[in-house]
């Protein structure tokens, strides 16, 4: 793909490598500097031949995510054979071409009528009323995990990611979709493989998921249950135009993975943030009614998703006064928008009272526009329940290592802890 980003755009602004170790180490400071260079800055993915535009300012990010002239599928760009950047990413990571459709043709990548068709098939499971009905079960799972958390400690230290932040949302979404309990450890292992840059791991995980979901569909078809998967099978069998074979597997893959990864790291990042900001922790402990507002602020301040899927300009368009030509690729950088002083006063300060109430959402941590996160309400609820119960149960909760020793996954566009070692009680 040849774009103005290929030549550096304005000429005066050099391209930014998203794999720059310093940017991965400190994306907040790094994207803050990038944000002040220009409305759009050229970026590099994978290698020097894969160039994109980076939109980092709040208004520009919302524009890219809401303007229908930006599409998720490069095939939606009329009159041009635009290469799929994500397809190249799969090639770099050793994924066989026959697996690519299961990753590239999801509801997250669809545009227009296809996006609406796929989203409608599952959207009822994530309405505000349905999410509210799930709350007692979320609380039950949370309490059970916290009951056992102390038994997981070694020398008084427990990894919150492994034993709480991950098990909670993956249990909830697996119950909702219809993944049997005995199979859920497989998804945890596959999830680890899908979030590593090691060549070969992704291909192995995808092969396992595709085979497993195909087999599970056969089981559910023979013995339907009250779950999302059984509903998808009915939609497929009654009208194949509503949901194809590959689409059904892809939908399950997308729901399970997207339905727990973001929430797990919201819980992990949020816990670490509160424990390193004792004033905000004390405020939340003293007034638990602030929890919904705190979850919003944590999603803004340290949200796990820092960059969106690539968007492609379906026609010539301007962003921040800069031209984006038809076929050019743009990444909306959420961390840049969520820390933009043009929108947020003193954006680097964690302030759990920042949001006016628990419903209004000024940040873009869950995205914006037609592709706004389908499971945002469920993720927020799980975050509220998890953080509230954790802080009530363990009043002496503390980090077991210095904050600068917390290990994070070196993945561009994400902010995820590898481990979160905590002491549940004072020695």
Give the residue carrying structure tokens 């349905």: 130
Hey, how many other C-beta atoms are within 10 angstroms of the C-beta on 47? 11
Question: Is the separation of the CB atoms in 329 and 323 below 8 Å?
Answer: no
Distance of CA 352 to the CA centre of its chain: 21
Following DSSP, what letter does each residue of 248-315 receive, concatenated? Answer: HHHHHHHHHHHHHHHHHHHHHHHHHHHHT-HHHHHHHHH-GGGHHHHHHHHHHHH-SB-BPPPEEESS
Mean pLDDT of 186-198: 80
Q: How far apart, in whole angstroms, are the C-alpha atoms of residue 243 and residue 309? A: 23
Question: Is the separation of the CB atoms in 247 and 165 below 8 Å?
Answer: no
For residue 427, the model assigns a pLDDT of 64
Q: Is the dihedral of CA 366, 367, 368, 370 positive or negative?
A: negative
Mean pLDDT of 321-345: 97
Distance of CA 348 to the CA centre of its chain: 21
Exposed e or buried b for every residue in 99-128, given b needs 16+ CB within 10 A?
Answer: bbbbbbbbbbbbbeeebeebbebbeebbee
Mean pLDDT of 226-255: 88
Mean pLDDT of 116-122: 92
Q: Is the pLDDT of residue 22 over 80?
A: yes
pLDDT in tens, 358-414: 567 899 999 999 999 999 999 999 999 999 999 999 999 999 999 999 999 888 889
Q: In this structure, what token pair is assigned to residue 306?
A: 């820092």
Q: Kindly report the backbone phi and psi dihedral angles of residue 114, in degrees, each rounded to the nearest multiple of 5, phi listed first.
A: -65, -40
Given pLDDT bands bounded at 50, 70 and 90, which one contains residue 9?
Answer: very low
């Amino acid at each position: 793909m040849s774009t103005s980003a290929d030549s550096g755009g304005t000429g005066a602004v050099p391209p930014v490598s998203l794999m720059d170790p310093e940017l991965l180490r400190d994306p907040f400071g790094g994207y803050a500097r990038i944000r002040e260079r220009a409305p759009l800055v050229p970026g590099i993915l994978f290698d020097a031949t894969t160039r994109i535009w980076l939109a980092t300012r709040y208004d520009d990010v919302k524009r890219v995510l809401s303007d229908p002239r930006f599409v998720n599928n490069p095939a939606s760009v009329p009159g041009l054979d635009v290469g799929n950047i994500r397809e190249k990413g799969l090639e770099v990571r050793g994924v066989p071409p026959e697996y690519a459709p299961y990753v590239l043709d999801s509801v997250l990548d669809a545009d227009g009528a296809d996006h609406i068709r796929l989203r409608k098939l599952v959207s009822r499971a994530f309405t505000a009323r349905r999410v509210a009905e799930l709350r007692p079960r979320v609380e039950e799972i949370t309490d059970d995990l916290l009951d056992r958390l102390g038994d997981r400690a070694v020398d008084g230290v427990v990894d919150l990611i492994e034993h709480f932040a991950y098990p909670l949302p993956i249990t909830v979404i697996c119950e909702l979709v219809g993944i049997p309990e005995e199979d859920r450890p497989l998804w945890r292992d596959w999830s680890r493989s899908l979030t590593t840059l090691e060549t070969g791991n992704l291909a192995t995980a995808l092969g396992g998921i595709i085979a497993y979901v195909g087999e599970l569909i056969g089981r559910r078809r023979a013995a339907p249950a009250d779950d999302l998967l059984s509903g998808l099978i009915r939609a497929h069998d009654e009208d194949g135009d509503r949901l194809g074979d590959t689409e059904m597997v892809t939908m399950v893959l997308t729901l399970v993975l997207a339905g727990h990864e973001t929430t797990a790291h919201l819980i992990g990042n949020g816990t670490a943030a509160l424990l390193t900001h004792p004033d905000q922790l004390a405020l939340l402990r003293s007034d638990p009614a602030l929890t919904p507002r705190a979850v919003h602020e944590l999603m803004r301040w340290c949200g796990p998703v820092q960059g969106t899927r690539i968007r492609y300009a379906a026609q010539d368009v301007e962003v921040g006064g800069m031209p984006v030509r038809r076929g050019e690729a743009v990444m909306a950088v959420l961390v840049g928008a969520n820390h933009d002083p043009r929108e947020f006063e003193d954006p680097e300060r964690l302030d759990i009272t920042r949001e006016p109430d628990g419903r209004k959402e000024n940040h873009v941590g869950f995205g914006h526009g037609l592709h706004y996160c389908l499971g945002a309400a469920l993720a927020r609820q799980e975050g509220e329940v998890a953080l509230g119960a954790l802080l009530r149960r363990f009043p002496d909760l503390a980090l077991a290592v210095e904050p600068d020793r917390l290990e994070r996954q070196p993945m561009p566009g994400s902010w995820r802890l590898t481990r979160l070692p905590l002491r549940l009680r004072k020695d």
